[in-house]
Structure formats: C-alpha cells, structure tokens
Amino acid sequence: MGLQNAVLNGFKKSLVFGLVGVTVTDRYAGVCSIRGSSMSPTFNPSPGSFADDYVFLEKFCLDKYKFSHGDVVVFSNPINYKERCVKRIVAMEGDYISDTKGAMKVPEGHCWVEGDNSAFSSDSRIYGPVPLGLIRGRVTHVIWPLERIKKVDRRIPQDRLAF
C-alpha cells in the first residue's frame, strides 16, 4: 500500500509540474535551438560547427504585438507553417523598405525580417512581409553554449529603410 501511494503521489506531482511547464513555455517563455548560418555572427558564429545555439524566448511581446526595430524574433515561415525561422525585424508596419525593385511600404499587421548574414538567409526579400500573428516570441539571450551566454543586441540596419 505504501509503494502504491508513493507511485501515485509521484505521478500526481509529475503531472502538475508537466502542466505548469507546458503553460509557462506556451504563454510566457521558452527555450529554442538555432540552427544554420542565416543569423551569423549573432548566432552560430563558427562556420561548420555542429553545435547549435540555444536561446531564451520571451513571449510577453505577443500579448499586443509589442515589437520594435532590431528585435530578433522566432516565427512560422509564411510559406511552410511547420518550419520555424529566426530573423531580425528590419521594418515595421507603415515603414518603407528599399530593395532591388525600389521602395515598398510594409502593410499593416506585418513586419519585414532579414537575417544578419544576408548571403545565406531566406527572409522577407524572398517571401515578403511577415504577418505579426506568425511570430512565436522574441529572442532576448543566448543561453547555450556556456562560453556564448549573452544578451542579444537590437541592431537596426539603417541602410535598409527608405525614408
């Protein structure tokens, strides 16, 4: 009887911690791995390295779409919703972005994202403005590997905005 109670109590505690964990990672914060070189040198700065960077993802910004220029965000790819992308917001709704075709106004409810390593990045230059509803969170810190723990800076590439 004592073993059965211990197992049942352990199961209950695991279930509660699991539900709390899912709620926290779904609504407030989480951890995400970054793979690829499109955001190098911000993430994965060593070419050919097999180690991914792991980042802290804050989700309070999703409440009222509180994003700003230079934020690094994780979002669902507008072409393939199952794929997650990590890019930097270069322009917000109402901004004009310059590209090879001239200047384009970012539509309401959208943002323009680009990778820091533009030569190896599939971003808004390919699939256009990203709806704010596809954003899953804002990257605030690199938390792994240990030697790369740091706050992620907001950098705004000035040459991309057209005024």
Quick check: is 22 in a domain? no
What range defines the domain where residue 69 resides? 30-162
Q: How far is CA 110 from CA 82, 107, 133, in A?
A: 19, 6, 8
Please determine, for residue 142, whether its predicted confidence score (pLDDT) is greater than 80. Answer: yes
Cross-sheet strand order for the sheet of 102-105: 102-105, 96-99, 161-162
Centroid of chain to Cα 93 = 18
The catalytic residue positions are 38, 87
Look at residue 77 and tell me if it is in a domain: yes
Q: Which residue has the tokens 């971003």?
A: 123
Model pLDDT for residues 94-123, shown as the tens digit of each residue:
999 887 777 889 999 999 999 998 888 899
Residue 96 and residue 70 in contact, taking contact as beta carbons nearer than 8 Å: no
Measured CA to CA, the distance from residue 90 to residue 112 in angstroms comes to 6
Q: Is there a domain that residue 149 lies in?
A: yes
Task: Note if the bond before 41 is cis, omega within 30 degrees.
Answer: yes
Q: What letter represents residue 95's amino acid? A: D
What's the length of the chain? 163
Asked, for residue 20, whether it belongs to a domain, the answer is no
Q: Identify whether 145 is preceded by a cis peptide bond (ω within 30 of 0).
A: yes
When divided into structural domains, the chain yields a total of 1
Please report which confidence band the pLDDT of residue 30 belongs to, taking 50, 70 and 90 as the band edges. Answer: confident
Asked whether residue 4 is domain-assigned, the answer is no
CATH number of the domain bearing residue 84: 2.10.109.10
- Higher pLDDT: 97 or 27? It is 97
Could you tell me the pTM of the whole model?
0.80
16: in domain: no
Q: What b/e string do you get for 29-53 counting C-beta neighbours within 10 Å, with b at 16 or more? A: ebebebebbbbbebbbeeeeeeeeb
Whether residue 1 is contained in a domain is answered as no
Average pLDDT over residues 80-94: 92
